[in-house]
Structure 1
Amino acid sequence: MIDLRSDTVTVPSEDMRRAMSTAAVGDDVFHDDPTVNRLEAMMAEMAGKEAALFVPSGTMSNLVALLAHCQRGEEYIVGQGYHTYLYEAGGAPVLGSVVPQPIAVEQDGTLDFAKIEAVIKKDDYHFARSKLLCLENTHNGKVISLEYMKSAYEFAQSKKLSVHLDGARAFNAITELGCELHELTQYADSVSICLSKGLGAPVGSVLCGSEELIKWARRWRKMVGGGMRQAGILAAAGIYALQNNVKRLAEDHRHAKQLAQRLQGIEELSINQDLVQTNMLFVKTRMDTAESLAKFLKDKGITIIPAETMRWVMHLNISDKDVDYIEEQVKVFFA
């Protein structure tokens, strides 16, 4: 089955499984799992941060970051369509009494500084205290430039806001930007990075930040049930992914751009080529067409989620031949 639903559907390679099976382990809640400690040290160094924390998921990584940055009654400013507001079940307000202040996301995935400034609260006990700015890179497959990240960080500092970056696909971002991870993450006080998306690990994300922030995030991780024991088995997959699956992300980007270009001539589909920047293409069509297409492709061994705007995601389990086959079957449907 060729699965285009997400890059979270990847299956560990035999080499990754071997690394997991031979990992040295300990009790990570006591902070003595050597493989987890190695992964955290690797990620902290790559991100240019003092410390890091391995957690089960990107949702938990963002959650413990928000709770470490903000106290009860404080506010984080965030894009309306960012994961830290829309797709993580309202964890920060529900579990931490942290108030979200969403604003519209611009077409390129950024937040407009004037719109941010308009919602920053003055220091008045009638209001939640504005504490944190949350950014996302990549956003819907779009890469946010280093120039914007730098300007946003400087803007936030001028307004006495900290910055958290949801960098779930930060390695996709730096692949397209042609830079090192620390060159991107220097413009955030904390960053959450997923290992279980394009990098192909089965489980896990890493939060990077200052020693003080990670200390508090570790406490929150325990409280929300993320303290794992012999987690080195999982961390080993993350280490393998960092050592072997970063450079190949360029293949996923190439596949997405190739498929978008090849389907451009189909009248019933609309694909904005300019928005295909990393491993995702967004395909617009009528809902009834999407449903019929999804059913047809399922019978041909291809899985998509039908919607008026469909997200098709490339990943390490999709080959050049798979891209050719997807193109062929979509064109057969519309022939």
Structure 2
Amino acid sequence: MLYLLENVDLFGFSLRLFGYVTFRAGGAALTAMLFVMLFGPFTVRLLKRYRALAMDRYKDVLPEGFIDKRKNATPSMGGLLMLAGVALATVLWTELFNPTVLALLFCTVLMGLIGFADDYVKVTRNPKGISARAKFLAQCLVAAGTILFLYWQPFQPELAEQMNKLFVPFVKEPVLQSQWVLLLEMVVIVGASNAVNLTDGKDGLATGSVIFCALTYAVIAYVCGHRVFAEYLNVPGIPGASEGVVFAAAVIGACIGFLWHNCYPASMFMGDTGSLALGGAIGLLAVLVRQELLLVLTGGVFVMEALSVVIQVASFKLTGKRVFLCAPIHHHFERRGWTETQIVVRFWILAGIFALLSLASLKLR
């Protein structure tokens, strides 16, 4: 909403700064960060009051000797605070009724509500949460609804025209134009949501990795939304992509603010409420800038985590043997003797490397 101030003069001073994407992105990041940091202690007290605790998260996953029992007293569902921070910053600093913004907010909040339902069931009824099938179906419905909204919305026909084109990294022109691309985009959103969820196993691990990933797509969204830069780097010009920069900045700010409370030893966990929402946001950002396949590199940490689970399950079912000591892969390194801090920082380093490689690939076309 604050972008409306760009045409206002206040005491002789023009407020046209509010019309600049970079200024609004900075404002969104700062707003979300401060909101999450300031309301963190209150959220922790509230979650503890209602016994929203992460009890026995790793029962039957890790041997007893590798489970930190102290974390049973750490509240979960901290993702509610992150969602509130992202939503507040988005409402204040974006063109709220832009189809891109509406899609991002819709997808992120609904994915978060799916995660909240899972967390709520874990706390009140069943430690395993809602069934994997029900959760997956709900994620697919949200992803499909978001993609179809962008494809059919009449307000930005140029954006809708781009939705059924498949771009491949290092190639200038789309390699495919078909409605089947919409199905791939849905898979990307659901896959990213679940991959971030699998990564959320150590204090700050998923939060820090999302920051690098969101920062990368913020830069790409800025390039795609700038006609001159898009032509120079041979990337598709995406109408409304600039608003994706502001939204990505809000996600980054919320993650930085949450990391204040989530770094080791964490005072609260994001739970599925946060991880499913953040993953859905990252997946949709990748789709909106038509770089969904690049997410394999940009989100390399999340891909590692998800693949380790797939490989472990497939190997055990086919051969009866396990490839890793434990999956997701961060637990494998924990079993190898890495401390929690070593795992988190080293995975952050990998996330930073993947982000730099992704940005470097923009010119290789």
Whether TM exceeds 0.5 here: the answer is no
TM-score band (shorter)? under 0.3
- TM-score, structure 2 length as denominator? 0.26
